[in-house]
A and B are shown apart, each in its own frame.
Chain A
Amino acid sequence: MCGIIGVINRVRSVMDGSGIKKALSLMNERGSGEGAGYVGYGIYPDFADCYALHVFYDNLVEPKKKVDNLLEKWGRIVHQEEIPTYERPNLRKQHIPWRYFYKPHKDLMVGSSTPEDDLVKNLVMDINSCIEGALVFSSGINLGVFKAAGWPEDVADFYRIQDYKGYIWLAHNRYPTNTPGWWGGAHPFNLLDWSVVHNGEITSYGTNRQYVESNGYKCTMFTDTEVVAYLFDLLGRRHGLSEDLVVKALAPPFWDEIDTMTERDKKLNLAMRLTYGSAQMNGPFAIIVATSQSIVGFTDRIKLRPLVVGENGDKLYISSEEAAIRIMDPKVQNIRMPRAGEPVVGRLIV
């Protein structure tokens, strides 16, 4: 099952984490107390030009030394510290959450049009696949993921997410069937600027995984959701597709619909399906993806998972449940349910 919610303030006004915590906790029927998480954008104004790397360490002896060495080899650690946590009766520290504010040496990366991003991406892949006892679970600029195995309110209080202020928040309430209890298995999943929360199961995972791996990504988190983050990074950042087009690649229109389109649309959709067939996602899902510029919500092509949208002025909400939006913002308007595969996009306007 799982419950998801996302909100963007399109003029960049910040919201503290208390609202999203309340909304997520309302959807406890959709979770099992074994995983919850949040991501906020714009939460690190003091380090606004640094990559914020959030790492789960099993201990601070061996893995951290290796990570520190690797990071220092490829860039400069501007600041590092343990992420402040406050243990709850139901939520004890299983890993040590650590954060680095990091500037990669872009001159060290050759053959890339986005050298800093590619450098950080490679570091994340290397650490996660090669350094035991370390897992980078957040790696974007001025954003951070906070997640653990527990109920939403406990996870929120564990990190005190009400102390962070962001203009975009995504959150996820997990009912795990795979890897329960593992902190790395909780959502959101993040890579660079991309964060993903996902309700469902991706039946095309084997195909999608093969596709991203053949493009230089490594799937290390034992769950199908991370592939969504990599697909968005590959198609959105490296191939330069707009959010609408990425969603079209991941949840394309049916051939029957394409056959009745105008010549121009037919040509475009045919090209999309042929080129990005291996990126197409199947199975039941509702997904919200965030970047520093926008949030995008969409479902599978026959809408086997719920998704509701609402607005209030500059704020756009996307969630599994209308009630979750309403408790966060009682004055919400224009509640609607998007059609299967139809992307809902909220972009910054400043």
Chain B
Amino acid sequence: MTLGSVPLRYKVSIDRDQCMQCMRCVDNCSYGVYRVEGDNILIDSRKCTACHRCISMCPRDAIILQERPVDYRSHPLWTAQTREDIINQARTGKILLAGMGNALEYPIIFDRLVLDACQVTNPSIDPLREPMELRTYIGKKPARLEFRKNDQGDVELATELAPNLKLETPIMIGHMSYGAISLNTQLSLAKAVKAMGTFMGTGEGGMHKSLHPYQDHTIVQVASGRFGVDIDYLERGAAIEIKIGQGAKPGIGGHLPGEKVCVDVSCTRMIPLGSDAISPAPHHDIYSIEDLAQLVRSLKEATEWKKPVFVKIAAVHNVAAIAAGIARSSADAVVIDGFRGGTGAAPKVFRDNVGIPIEAAIAAVDQKLNDQGIRNEVSIIASGGIRNSADLAKSIALGADAVYIGTAALIALGCRVCGNCYRGLCPWGIATQRQDLVERIDPDIGAKNVANLIHAWTLELSELMGAAGLNSIESLRGNRDRLRGYMLDEGLMKVLNVKPVGA
């Protein structure tokens, strides 16, 4: 039993009348909460992360979990978390690490936006009986079309379209690298996006060969560490994404601890076995917008201008102007990652305090690009805290073309958002490379669950659009008229360019 100086975070107990001593809890907990002594299962609650693996595996529902059974004296400023962080840092003298997304209680703008529906003056459209079009193309689009007369005198199209990604639904899965997550997790996601006619990001970790059958549904990432990048990798992806920043930790690089760099990860990333993979904060060849434009062009040259190139940035204060700069390069899409975006590991101070919410970022970028008349130059992909189909619909109405989901897809695979991804012990086999844990995910079952989630959101989006009298996604995009702000302040409504409820 470890003795701590702070109160227990979670208290685990077993209803001994119910328990049949099957030992599944002991076998499943990778954090070492349970151990067996004689006939007894002993519990070390201090090691619990509330990942719920034991609870979901217990055949008798015998496990009871309590959050903060003994708490600090309540205080509005010096919260339990604040006090614990200080105690922790006084002990270690280090930067605090944290997993998943922003955990502070900022208001959620999505929950203060409401959607519209038709009554009388225009009929709602029933998606069961009428066509409903969610097909989305991601990439550069011309501002206008040119036509010419051919030799026969027929008018024909003179404009050549840039390559676009064709999505059957405006939901993609964001970049989570092999290394940060397990191979079986990536395989589940890959099979799911292929089945649903959409795409996933590989993250900055190269592409393992078992993903090759799904490569036409992947977006390969080039980040500041350039891990796993070679011409073969670039050519395999359906699109290429340059990652400048990430919503969970804007302005800083990434860190994959050496413990997670097993043989396969080391080969895929092209780094030595067991070495820390540290991505620098900036790209060392990008110190200004024109450098970025050069890298976009270089990647396009390398792949013969056959693939769209995306640029991902964290949503920061000046996101709109930055996106306008990106739109002026040859980039095909700008990915904006809001401050609620998840991560395997981020300094807590960044995760909780840097960047802006995705809702405001989408609206600001869409508005700026429209004001400058260059909205067609890039697609907008929104990510960072998209929780359900309503968030998806609201994102599109604010101006996004499509969204990336991350955490939601992981929850579909078992993740319970315990936030300990950086420790590499994920009992659900997601954020780990330990083989016995990884094997807990069957990619076929995982793929089914993720595909189900995407399918369900797609159905709900169709219903929401039909109710609003829209039968194609183009007519929802940037249609702020179909949103109203509820209990939002005037300044924010101006940024979002939405009216208040009742107006």
Contacts and interface: CB of A to CB of B under 8 A. Distances in A.
Interface of A: 177, 200-201, 203-207, 209-211, 213-215, 239-242, 254-256, 264, 267-268, 270-278, 280-284, 301-302, 304
Contact of A207 (B133, B142, B376, B476): B476
B141 A210 contact: no
A205 B474 CA distance: 12
A241 to B, nearest CB: 7
A281 B479 CA distance: 12
B471 A177 contact: no
B480 interface: yes
Contacts, number: 110
Interface residues of B, number: 43
Contacts of A240: 147
B469 A214 contact: no
B232 interface: no
Which of A270, A273, A278, A284 gathers the greatest number of chain B CB atoms within 10 Å?
A278
B471 A302 contact: yes
Interface of chain B: mostly helix, strand, loop or mixed: loop
Which of B133, B137, B481 gathers the greatest number of chain A CB atoms within 10 Å?
B481
B373 A256 contact: no
Given A177-B121, A239-B144, A283-B469, A210 B370 contact: yes
B475 interface: yes
Given A203-B468, A207-B478, A273-B474, A283 B122 contact: yes
B159 interface: yes
Which of A205, A206, A271, A281 gathers the greatest number of chain B CB atoms within 10 Å?
A206
Contacts of A278: 375-376, 474, 477-478
A323 B159 CA distance: 45
B147 to A, nearest CB: 8
Contacts of A211: 370
Given A214-B370, A239-B144, A203 B469 contact: yes
Contacts of A210: 370, 478-480
Given A207-B474, A207-B479, 14 more contacts: A201-B469, A203-B468, A204-B475, A205-B479, A206-B479, A206-B480, A207-B475, A278-B477, A280-B475, A282-B475, A283-B122, A284-B123, A302-B130, A304-B123
Contacts of A302: 125, 130-131, 471
Nearest to B483: A206
B375 A201 contact: no
A280 B474 contact: yes
Contact of A275 (B130, B135, B144, B472): B144
B285 interface: no
Nearest to B159: A271
Contacts of A277: 141, 474, 477
A274 B135 CA distance: 11
Contacts of A301: 471
Interface in B155-175: 155-157, 159, 161, 164
Interface in B414-472: 468-472
Which of B145, B156, B373, B397 gathers the greatest number of chain A CB atoms within 10 Å?
B145
Across the A-B interface, give the 4 residue pairs with the lowest CB-CB distance, nearest first.
A206-B481, A204-B475, A277-B474, A282-B475
A326 to B, nearest CB: 28
B226 interface: no
A214 B371 contact: yes
A280 B479 CA distance: 12
Contacts of B159: 271, 275
A267 B118 CA distance: 34
Nearest to B144: A239
Nearest to B160: A271
A330 B144 CA distance: 44
A267 to B, nearest CB: 6
Given A206-B479, A271-B159, A284 B122 contact: yes
Interface in B352-403: 370-373, 375-376, 397
Given A206-B482, A207-B475, A283-B470, A201 B122 contact: yes
A121 to B, nearest CB: 16
Contact of B157 (A214, A268, A282): A268
Nearest to B376: A275
Contact of A271 (B133, B161, B471): B161
Nearest to A259: B135
A282 B471 contact: yes
A71 B302 CA distance: 56
Contact of A274 (B156, B161, B471): B161
Contacts of B121: 177, 201
Which of B147, B475, B480 gathers the greatest number of chain A CB atoms within 10 Å?
B475
Nearest to A256: B131
A203 B472 CA distance: 11
A312 B61 CA distance: 81
A280 B472 CA distance: 9
